[in-house]
Amino acid sequence: MSTSTITAEAKKAGEKLAGKVMPLTPTFGVKDYSTFFLAGALCCTITHGAMTPFQRLTARIQIDPKFSRTSMLSTGRQIIASEGPRGLLTGFGPTAVGYLVQGGAKFAGYEFWKKQLVEVVGSQEGAVEHRTAIYLVGASVAEFFADILLAPLEATRIRLVSDPKYATGLATGFAKLSAEEGFAGLYAGFLPLICKQIPYAIGQFTVNEFCHELALKGMDEHEKANLGGMKKLGIDLGSGITAGAAAAILSHPADSMLSAVNKGAGPKGPMYKRLIQVGGELGFSGLWAGLGPRIVMTAGLVTGQFLIYGWIKEALNAPPGVEIHKEEK
């Protein structure tokens, strides 16, 4: 992935040039997974925290009909006029904390599950042949478990950004939601959350993997082993932006429904019935409202996450992850 992807490819290329026999997968210990978790936690909380104003704007565009046809700039001006500049930072607490735990679990989980799936396949050739399935399953399973940690904080965040008077911040908002609605309220949006986050993770990780594969495909082992810093950065930026756009598009309808459900839309009862009714009420235009701004935001998020993740791993001398890109013969 990103810088760590290129590092892994460079290491593999160097070992091939040296004639070393490589194991199917590297051996990762508790320290390595702890480093992956830390790097994932920091890259996600930093980027999502920095994007809080944009998330505030896109959420209002999605769930407030009077903003559905306005630009991000116009929406921002109206929020500042009614709530002051601090209104753009509403939801910062649950965003930072939620994506701290979710990011760590997601990135470390993806490293773990990709390794496990490669070992299940049993050979490098088989892993390369089935790499798409490995990427999809690894991202999906990692995201599912990460979302168990994220759901209560995401529910609190959406309440805060959709209703500025709901509470004063993370602690009071979480306490109020817990007291009023209990476990059911905290996890009311879990089904639409995984419907949003799993496609998001698939776009983020799978598209990033294939973008790197495409960028490195025409290079020989010597070029990969000696890739310059600016070329690495260019590949990382292009891959991250493309992966971010894919993640936004794949997850946007469910993101719109999640915002509506956490605001209280839909009938009481089973979540699937609420989703069906909410989807019908929103319609095609409502499901895709705010996609443009969200693509811009998500492209920045994903690119920043991969860059920071790679930098932290390198700074902490963590091993590169498992790479199964198809190489030209």
Whole-number Cα distances in Å, 20 to 5, 308, 325: 20, 30, 19
- Residue 270's pLDDT is 77
Q: In the chain, what percentage of residues exceed pLDDT 70?
A: 89
Question: Which run of H or of E encompasses 150?
Answer: helix 131-162
Average pLDDT over residues 55-65: 71
- Residue 17's pLDDT is 46
Q: How far apart are CA 267 and CA 290, in angstroms?
A: 24
Domain spans in the chain, listed from the N-terminal domain onward: 2-17+27-315
Return the higher-pLDDT residue of 136 and 222: 136
Q: How far apart are CA 239 and CA 304, in angstroms?
A: 11
DSSP state of 93: H
- Residue 15's pLDDT is 52
- Residue 147's pLDDT is 95
Contact 33, 112 (CB under 8 A): yes
Q: How far apart are CA 329 and CA 294, in angstroms?
A: 39
- Residue 6's pLDDT is 57
Q: Which residues make Cβ contacts (< 8 Å) with residue 306, sequence separation at least 6? A: 1, 2, 3, 43, 208, 236, 239, 240, 243
Task: Tell which CATH classification among 1.50.40.10, 1.20.140.10, 3.20.20.30, 4.10.640.10 matches the domain 2-17+27-315.
Answer: 1.50.40.10
Amino acid identity, position 227? L
